[in-house]
Amino acid sequence: MPFMEFVNFYLMPGIVLGSIYALGAVGITLVFGILRFAHLAHGDLATFGAFTALGVVTIFGVSPWVALPVAMVVCASLAIGIDKLFYDYLSERPKIIVVMSSLGIALMLRAVVQVVWGVDTETYTRGIVRPDDYWGIRIRDREIYTIIAMFVIVGVLWAFLQKTRWGKAMRAMSDNPDLALLSGVDNRKITMLTWGIVGILCAASGFFLGINTELKPLMGWTMLLPMFAAAILGGVGRAEGAVIGGLIVGIVEETSVLFIPGEYKAALAFAILLLILLVRPTGLLKGKVL
Amino acid sequence: MTSQAIAEQPMANNSMQQKYSGKPILTMADVRGGYGDADILQGINMQVTEQEIVVIVGPNGAGKSTAMKAIFGLLKVRGGSIVVNGTEIAGWKPNRIVQHGVCYVPQVNNIFREMTIHENLEMGAFLRKGDIYESLERVYTLFPDLKERRNALAGNLSGGQRQMVAMGRALMLNPSLLLLDEPTAGLSPKYMEQIFEITRNLRNAGLSILLVEQHAKQALAFADKGYVLAAGNNRHEGTGQELLADREVAEMFLGG
Ligand SMILES: Nc1ncnc2c1ncn2[C@@H]1O[C@H](COP(=O)(O)OP(=O)(O)OP(=O)(O)O)[C@@H](O)[C@H]1O
Ligand SMILES: [Mg+2]
């Protein structure tokens, strides 16, 4: 197979899909690192974000790109609200209870999407977009934007975590929660901040999945496993790791069809997850041991 | 006002008879509490006055760390009173206690491993909104080793340097009372001497320090006051020299 064909039909789509996974995986790794549980409603929160953007597009007739920030704000508020109503209420209970409740939240969010928008497949814009040719690389504008947006969003988040007072407090909480409390960090504020950021990331990953493919009520749920695989592959608690993990899982999934039947694509994320847990449970960048 | 007059002022919430001169910074009276239902602390009494090093010694499991956690609001205090700077603080959350001028260096897990030395110190000053430059310089002057390696991850440092990071973090808020839980555990004699030296300098600069120590003889030698705890109770108290001279204390708790 010619090299450019590999790039255009397998590598580029892999990077695009990987960018979408990365956005979700960064959120998962933040929840893991700071709040210390596996957030199973992550995918469905992304679905909700994608459909919120669709709602804005249909009601106001604006471009999807205008709808994205709105969806981010809605998802951030929703995530903070869900935490207040459910996760915070359960915070003194064993973590497995919180994990199970997040599964319940996932089902609730999906039900809301199905009631409001129905169960049909939707798109942000109609018509077929043909890819442009850049020095032999064929790629659509929206795919370029997806990749750029992922790096910009994660870059801003990274700078926030490294350079700002509250960003450092989030890292401190992830590193040593008891000592963070002793240093006067307010647990509640960090939790709310984390959920706000997670909501924004979820909305972005759902939106970019929607704009590159279609919107379906199950779209986020099917991303959940690859996103978890990406977070663990990168090292739990490591945002940079989640990006690397997301890109790897995306590229492996897209290129796998060269070697194995496409129906097994979904099982690949699971295989990667098992492999990394067996070989290097701390992930590629050294993260927390689960 | 003369110091005599200060000493005669009735202290709020403080019924304990004042045995030592100087303004009380911390007074624990009949403190009871524990982790689960059982009381580990069975009525602890302690007092730290201004510009004093008070050393707590006692066997493993005596409740020394538990007493410190009780002061810092990390366990349920079921009875008694804990007064700091004239205010009852029993039942307060740790971040409120920090704002009240008490900082604490736990026995274990007392640094942010994944953060640099500099960031550890910044976290120590988290509650301070203003400029922290002066506090940083002060800590770096106390621990010159840390300044050199300010951008190194704290988790990669040697045991002695980690302990310095932990102390530096706690000093960033300029507390009036510092709680140190076995800061020299596992350190070489050289580092131990250095930590003790810094502790004395801090006291001489006006800080009050409550210090739990396994190196009991060395610590009592410079302590202004000492308490021996055993099985969650006060056993002995006195000046450092008195405890060192006490035969029973020496036999039972200082290894003869
Ligand atoms: N987190 C905890 N939960 C339940 N029990 C605890 C906990 N920490 C300590 N204990 C118990 O409380 C008692 C006192 O422990 P504490 O840590 O205060 O002892 P210590 O005097 O500091 O001893 P050491 O010299 O070993 O540090 C012990 O019996 C210990 O088993
Ligand atoms: Mg102890």
Share of chain A residues as helix, strand and coil, in percent rounded to the nearest 5: 75, 5, 20
Domain ranges of chain A: 3-121+139-279
| Chain pair A-B, CB pairs under 8 angstroms | 61
- Distance between Cα B85 and ligand 1 center (Å): 27
Predicted TM-score (pTM) of the model is 0.87
Q: Beta strand B24-34 with B41-49: parallel, antiparallel or unpaired?
A: antiparallel
Beta sheet of B102-105, edge-to-edge order: B102-105, B177-181, B208-212, B53-57, B225-230, B233-238
Q: Are A252 and A276 in contact (CB under 8 A)?
A: no
Tokens describing residue B186? 């596992």
Each residue's pLDDT tens digit, B127-157: 888 888 889 999 999 999 899 999 999 999 9
Q: What is the ipTM of this complex?
A: 0.85
Specify burial of residue B66 (Cβ count, 10 A radius: 0-12, 13-18, 19+): buried
Each residue's pLDDT tens digit, B32-76: 988 888 888 888 899 999 999 999 998 888 899 999 999 998 888
Closest CA to A43 of A20, A66, A59: A20
The pLDDT of residue B12 is above 60? no
Calpha distance B147→A268 (Å, rounded): 48
Of B95, B109, B173, the CB nearest to A179: B109
Question: Ligand 1, closest atom to CA B61?
Answer: 19
Question: Across chain A, what does the average pLDDT equal?
Answer: 90
Ligand 1 contact via B35 beta carbon (within 6 Å): yes
Each residue's pLDDT tens digit, A136-161: 778 888 889 999 999 999 999 999 99
Of B110, B114, B126, the CB nearest to A169: B126
- Distance between Cα B63 and ligand 1 center (Å): 6
Tokens describing residue A104? 């319940």
Q: In CATH, what class is A3-121+139-279?
A: mainly alpha
What stretches of chain B show up as alpha helix (H) in DSSP?
3-8, 64-71, 94-99, 117-124, 133-142, 144-148, 159-171, 189-204, 216-222, 240-245, 247-253
Locate tokens 């199950």: which residue? A218
Of A165, A171, A184, the CB nearest to B114: A171
Task: Compute the nearest-CA separation of B173 from chain A (Å).
Answer: 9
Which residues in chain A are contacts of B127 at CB distance < 8 A?
A: 183-184
Question: Across chain B, what does the average pLDDT equal?
Answer: 86
Q: Do B126 and A181 touch (CB under 8 A)?
A: no
